[in-house]
């Protein structure tokens, strides 16, 4: 039984192997016949031709020589040139508030009125005392005038005359003191009307009408704070390495300062440099400078965080490229120059960037054409074809490259001419 079963298994294995060999042989022959047929060879040639890659299309710009500013950029904050906390100088009940929170007020405008009746009573009392002392002085002077000829004729003693003279002198001093008390009382009375010492924007109120005020100290919460906003200052922290350049330029002319939002954007306002601090910060290595802005439309607001740009000078004839042409590398920045249909890697030295234009100090001669919007697959030595010859010229249309679309090309040209 064992021999019989083994024989059956052997026969089955031989049959399977033979069937597999027959299937493989037929498939191999069919593949050869397909390769020999002209139709299959044509399809293969077409597929090979279709997969073949040509020069990589790229956009190109020429290196530009132009006048570019030399600038110093720094971050800073907007500050009021004058900031005045308003406090009461006398005790009393606050009768009225004559402005709205956040309102722009003029210098001398009445802001608050305090109950002035106690101060008026003091003024009236001092005035009455003055009138009394003036009357006593007039009486003493009359008495002195009457005794003067008598003492000359020895009708009265010298002592009686001296007493009258002393009394008149004393009353003169009393009247002078009364006048001073009246002036002090009037000054206290004037404190009942609180006016703005400067023109500016008011802040939030810390009091309401009817509040009982006390004599304020330096630590007392102000009733309101008035910040001047026209003009206004911007304080910038500039690296100490730029200090000499700024001072040298400032000695020759007024320096323009442009301000933009801290997150970037268009220029908000332009002003002039007004102040350079006398000390460099040891902790940050920066120095504080301030610029003054007219701020007539209140574009800048106290406490606002901004970025400042100081124009040191204008440098003519420098080489510039768009920011998108500059590529970072391990050895430093570089660009891909378009030369004889190939991409050539050129190391460069970047001096500075102004907006989206990069100033190149070395590495280029100024006659190169440089690839912008560099494709990720581009490498040095790769074959490329120019898609946009120069910046500002009309880019090539894909339809224009095709010889089968002359009508599209004419239509495109006519549309450009009509514009």
Alpha-carbon distance 269 to 308, whole Å? 10
Residues 306 and 245 in one domain: yes
Range with the poorest average pLDDT among 73-82, 172-181, 390-399, 401-410: 401-410
Q: Report the chain's mean pLDDT, rounded to a whole number.
A: 83
Most confident of 37-41, 126-130, 348-352, 357-361: 126-130
Q: Tell me the CATH number at 99.
A: 2.40.50.100
Residues 239 and 266 in one domain: yes
Q: Considering the entire predicted model, what is its pTM?
A: 0.62
Asked whether residue 66 is domain-assigned, the answer is: no
Tokens representing residue 269 in the block:
């306002």
Alpha-carbon distance 242 to 356, whole Å? 22
The DSSP H or E segment spanning 411 is: helix 406-418
Residues 402 and 379 in one domain: yes
Instruction: Please say whether the beta carbons of 355 and 308 come within 8 A.
Output: no
Q: How confident is the model at residue 9 (pLDDT cuts 50, 70, 90)?
A: low
Res 126: pLDDT: 95
Residues 176 and 197 in one domain: no
Res 192: pLDDT: 95
Res 237: pLDDT: 94
> 3-state DSSP call for residue 86?
strand
User: Which residues does residue 318 pair with via DSSP β-bridges, in sequence order?
Assistant: 66
Instruction: Please say whether the beta carbons of 190 and 55 come within 8 A.
Output: no
pLDDT tens digit sequence for 47-94: 444 444 688 888 899 998 999 888 899 999 999 999 999 999 999 999
Residues 156 and 168 in one domain: yes
Res 387: pLDDT: 77
Residues 77 and 171 in one domain: no
Residues 268 and 199 in one domain: no
pLDDT tens digit sequence for 142-194: 988 888 888 888 888 888 888 889 999 999 999 999 999 999 999 999 999 99
Asked whether residue 59 is domain-assigned, the answer is: no
Which of 201, 227, 253 lies at the terminal end of a domain, its last residue?
A: 227
Alpha-carbon distance 42 to 38, whole Å? 6
3-state DSSP of 267-331: CCEEEEEEEEEEEECCCCCEEEEEEEECCCCCCCCCCCEEEEEEEEEEEEEEEEEEHHHCECCCC
Residues 267 and 300 in one domain: yes
Q: How confident is the model at residue 216 (pLDDT cuts 50, 70, 90)?
A: confident
Asked whether residue 294 is domain-assigned, the answer is: yes
Between 352 and 28, whose confidence is greater? 352
Residues 376 and 358 in one domain: yes
383: DSSP letter? B
Is 257 a residue whose pLDDT tops 80?
A: yes
Residues 260 and 211 in one domain: no
Res 36: pLDDT: 45
pLDDT (average), residues 307-316: 89
Query: Structural domain of residue 143, as residue ranges?
Result: 116-191
pLDDT (average), residues 239-247: 92
Residues 6+ apart with CB under 8 A from 211: 93, 94
- Give the residue among 378, 350, 380 at the shortest CA–CA distance from 59: 378
Is 11 a residue whose pLDDT tops 90?
A: no
Residues 351 and 390 in one domain: yes
Longest Cα pair distance anywhere in the chain, in angstroms? 184
User: Which residues does residue 232 pair with via DSSP β-bridges, in sequence order?
Assistant: 293
Phi, psi of 65 (to 5 degrees): -110, 120
pLDDT (average), residues 123-131: 95
Is 246 a residue whose pLDDT tops 90?
A: yes
Residues 207 and 234 in one domain: no
């Amino acid at each position: 039984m064992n021999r019989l079963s083994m024989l059956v298994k052997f026969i089955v294995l031989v049959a399977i192997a033979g069937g597999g060999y027959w299937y493989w042989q037929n498939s191999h022959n069919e593949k050869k016949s397909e390769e020999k047929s002209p139709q299959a060879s044509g399809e293969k040639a077409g597929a090979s031709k279709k997969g073949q890659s040509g020069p990589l299309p790229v956009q190109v710009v020429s290196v530009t020589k132009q006048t570019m500013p030399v600038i110093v950029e720094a971050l800073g904050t907007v500050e009021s040139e004058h900031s005045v906390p308003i406090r009461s100088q006398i005790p009393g009940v606050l009768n009225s508030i004559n402005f709205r929170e956040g309102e722009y007020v003029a210098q001398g405008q009445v802001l608050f009125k305090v109950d002035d009746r106690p101060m008026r009573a003091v003024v009236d009392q001092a005035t009455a005392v003055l009138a009394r002392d003036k009357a006593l002085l007039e009486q003493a002077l009359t008495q002195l005038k009457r005794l003067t000829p008598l003492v000359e004729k020895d009708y009265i003693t010298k002592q009686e005359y001296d007493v009258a003279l002393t009394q008149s002198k004393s009353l003169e001093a009393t009247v002078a003191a009364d006048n001073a008390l009246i002036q002090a009382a009037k000054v206290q009375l004037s404190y009942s009307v609180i006016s703005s010492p400067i023109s500016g924007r008011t802040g939030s109120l810390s009091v309401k009408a009817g509040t009982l005020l006390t004599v304020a100290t330096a630590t007392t919460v102000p009733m309101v704070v008035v910040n001047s906003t026209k003009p206004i200052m911007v304080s910038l922290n500039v690296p100490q390495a730029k200090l000499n350049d700024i001072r040298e330029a400032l000695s020759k002319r007024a320096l323009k300062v442009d301000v933009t939002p801290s997150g970037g954007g268009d220029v908000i306002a332009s002003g002039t440099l007004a102040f350079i601090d006398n000390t460099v910060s040891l902790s940050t290595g920066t120095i504080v400078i301030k610029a003054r802005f007219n701020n007539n439309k209140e574009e800048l607001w106290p406490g606002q965080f901004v970025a400042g740009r100081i124009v040191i000078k204008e440098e003519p004839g420098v080489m510039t490229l768009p920011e998108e042409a500059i590529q970072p590398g391990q050895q430093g920045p570089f660009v891909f120059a378009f030369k004889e249909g190939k991409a050539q890697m050129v190391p460069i030295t970047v001096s500075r960037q102004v907006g989206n234009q990069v100033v190149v100090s070395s590495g280029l001669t100024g006659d190169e054409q440089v690839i912008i919007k560099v494709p990720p697959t581009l490498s040095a030595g790769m074959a490329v074809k120019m898609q946009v010859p120069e910046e500002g010229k009309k880019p090539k249309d894909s339809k224009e490259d095709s010889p089968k679309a002359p009508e599209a090309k004419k239509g495109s040209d006519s549309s450009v001419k009509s514009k």
